[in-house]
Chain A
Amino acid sequence: MANRGGATYEVDSRRPLLDTLREQGVDLPYGCKYGGCITCAARLRAGEVDQRRQVALNNRQIAQGYVILCVARPVGDCTLDVGVDSHDVLYRNPFLDPLAPHELKADIAVTGDVAPDNASSKEA
C-alpha cells in the first residue's frame, strides 16, 4: 500500500479487496458495495486486478489505474494508493475537461484500438 507507509497485507484472490483489507484493520472508504458508486476507488500502481463487476469508472479513469475495491479481486501482487488521497485525478470538471469518445464508460464508449479493456486493469 504505497500511500500507507508501504504496509503489506495478504489478501484472497477470490474476494473483493475491500473486504479482505477492512478485515485486517485497513480503514477504507466505501459506499454501495456493488461496484457502482466510486466512493471506494483506489489507484493501482502495480499489479493486476479483476474488476469485471465495476460499473462506476469511465475508460479514462480505468486508464489512469483506478480500481473499485468493493468488487476488485487481486490477480497477483498489487501495489495500491488507497482512500481519497488517491483521488487527485479521479474527479474533473466535466465542462473544462471533456472526455474523448473512447474515454466514456464502457457501455457507450466508441470502441477502437485505443479503448482499454474494462475487464482488468494493469499498471506497470
Chain B
Amino acid sequence: MECCGPGYASPAEAMQAPRELLLYTIAIYTGTGIQKPDYLCTIDADPESETYSQVIHRLEMPGIGDELHHMGWNACSSCHDDSSMARKYLLVPGVRSSNIHIVDTATDPRAPRLHKVIEGTEIKARTDLSAPHTVHCLGSEIIISMLGDAKGEAPGGYLHLNKDFEIVGRWENSMGDIPFGYDFWYQPRHNVMVSSEWAAPNTFMPGFDLEEVGHLKYGRRLHLWDFEKKEPMQTMYLGEDGLIPLEVRFHHDPDSTHGFCGAALSANIIHWWKDADGAWQWEKIVDVENEPHPEWPIPVPGVISVILLSMDDRFLYLCNWLHGDIRQYNIEDPHNPVLTGQVWMGGLLGRAPEVNGVRVTGGPQMIQLSLDGSRLYVTTSLFSTWDNQFYPEIRTNGGCMLMVNCDTENGGMEIDPEFVVDFGAEPNGPSRCHETRYPGGDCTSDIWV
C-alpha cells in the first residue's frame, strides 16, 4: 500500500531503507557499584562522520536502579497505513524498577529527551504487574510483556498502553496455565502470538542458581496464543531440548508461520511452523555442543542469549554468550540450517580476549542487524547480576560494542576492524551496554499486519 505512516510496506521495502546513521543503545550502572542512573546512548554509526563509533549523547534516566534492558517503538510498520502515527517515541523499561520511560527521539534524533515516565508503582497498583521486558506496538497501541506480578512472582502478564502512553490495563484475557513469561512476537495474518519463558523476577533477578532449573523455577515451554481472543491456545513442551527459551522470532514475511527460538541453557535453536494439516509443530534444528574448559569440572554450555533473523528471512544469527561466538546460519530451508559464518569476541573459552584494541569482558550478547542485513551490532552485557556471576571483571572493564560485517550473498561474517565502542571508558565510569535500536526501525522491531 502507498501510504505515509511509519515503517515500510513490506520487509523487502524495509531492506531498501537508507543506512542507519545513529544507534540507540542502553547502558547500565545498576549493580556496578557506580551510583548513577542507567542511560540511553546515542552512538554515531555514520562512517563519514568525525565522531563515528563514539557515544555522542547520553540521556540519563531520572533515578538509579532501573536496570534498563530491552526497549521498543511506539509505532512500527504495523501501522504503516495510518498517517496519524509516527515512529517518534522509544519505550525504555526498567526491569527492576518497573518504570517505563517514554523517550522522544524525533525532536532531535541525536539527543533524545525524556517525554514521560510511567512509574512502576502505578503499574503495580493498577495492573498487579512488574518487570517489563519486550515492547511491541500493536497498530497504534502498545503491549509489553511483564514477567511478574507486583510481588515479583510468575507468571505476570501483558501491560496494555494506549498511544498516549496511558495504562489501559491488562492486555490478555487469560494466561491459561502459562507458568512464566519473557519474550513474545505476533503474526497477525495467522491470528497467532508466540511467547517464551524465562522465570519469575524473584528467581532470575538475584542471579542464576543452576539448581533452580531442576526445581522447575525456569521455563522450558513455548506458548501459542489466539491473538484476537488474547488467550493461550497451545503449549509446546520443549523439555530438556528447550531449557530457558528466550527470544522468539517469527519470519518477517507476514504470510509465513515459521518461527524460531533460542533455548539459552540447552543452547539449541527451536523451529516451529504450522503444517499442511493446520497443526503447529516444533523441532530442534541447531544444537550447540558444550565445550571443555580447563578449569571447569563440566563442559561449558553455549548459553544462547539471543537470536535474530535478517529482514529477508534468509539468515539466523545467534550468540553463545559463554562460549564467545556469534553464528550465522542460512535458514532458507528452515528445517535444515547451514552454518555459514562465525566470529569470536570475549567469552569464557579465551578464543578472542581482545578485539580492536579493547579487552572484551562478557561475550556476544544482544545483537541488532541493519535492515539491509550487512551490519550486525553486538553488545556484551546480559543482565547485571548474571554478568557479576560469570564475568565479574566487567565491573572494572565495562561492556563494549562491536560491529560485524555480514556477507548477505554467500554468507560469512567478519568483525569490522574500525568500529568499537568501549563502555569501560564512559565518563562516569565503566558501564554495560545491552539492546540497540535504530531510529528507522530494525530487524527485531517491525511486524506487518
Contacts and interface: CB of A to CB of B under 8 A. Distances in A.
Contacts of A37: 96, 152, 201-202, 205-206, 385
Given A36-B201, A55-B152, A84-B32, A95 B210 contact: yes
A122 interface: no
Nearest to B322: A95
Contacts of B35: 27, 29
B64 A29 contact: yes
Given A95-B210, A95-B300, A30 B65 contact: yes
B296 A95 contact: yes
Given A38-B206, A56-B202, A98-B210, A84 B389 contact: no
B80 interface: no
Contacts of B389: 91-94
Contact of A91 (B205, B295, B388): B388
B294 interface: no
B65 A39 contact: yes
A96 interface: yes
Contacts of A114: none
A32 B209 contact: no
B205 A38 contact: yes
A83 B34 CA distance: 10
Contacts of B395: 84
B390 interface: yes
A32 B96 contact: yes
A98 B296 CA distance: 12
Given A31-B30, A32-B152, A96 B207 contact: no
A29 B298 CA distance: 35
Contact of B296 (A27, A58, A96): A96
Nearest to A88: B392
A57 B217 CA distance: 15
Interface in B382-441: 384-385, 388-390, 392, 395
B313 interface: no
A83 B29 CA distance: 13
Contacts of A58: 206, 209
Contacts of B115: none
A56 B215 CA distance: 16
A104 interface: yes
B257 interface: no
Contacts of A124: none
A93 B355 CA distance: 25
Contact of A56 (B130, B205, B297, B388): B205
Interface in A45-59: 55-58
Interface SS of B by simple majority: loop
B226 to A, nearest CB: 32
Contacts of B237: none
B140 interface: no
B65 A84 contact: no
A119 interface: no
A87 B206 CA distance: 12
Contacts of A83: 33
B351 interface: no
A98 B214 CA distance: 13
A32 B63 CA distance: 12
B67 interface: yes
B97 interface: yes
Interface in B249-298: 295-298
A1 interface: no
B211 interface: yes
Contacts of B148: 36
A106 to B, nearest CB: 11
A91 B205 CA distance: 12
B385 A29 contact: no
B151 A108 contact: no
Contacts of A27: 35
Contacts of A29: 30-31, 33, 35, 64-65
Interface string B124-151: 0000001000000000000000001011
Nearest to B94: A31
B205 A108 contact: no
9 contacts: A31-B66, A38-B206, A55-B202, A56-B205, A93-B389, A94-B207, A98-B211, A99-B209, A105-B212
Interface of A: 27, 29-34, 36-39, 55-58, 83-85, 87, 90-96, 98-99, 101, 104-105, 108
Interface of B: 30-33, 35, 64-67, 96-98, 130, 148, 150-152, 201-202, 205-212, 215, 217, 295-298, 300, 384-385, 388-390, 392, 395
Given A39-B385, A84-B31, 15 more contacts: A29-B33, A30-B65, A31-B31, A32-B152, A37-B385, A38-B385, A56-B205, A58-B209, A85-B33, A94-B211, A94-B389, A95-B210, A99-B211, A104-B211, A104-B212
Which A-B residue pairs are the 8 nearest by beta carbons?
A84-B33, A31-B96, A38-B206, A36-B152, A56-B206, A37-B205, A94-B210, A91-B388
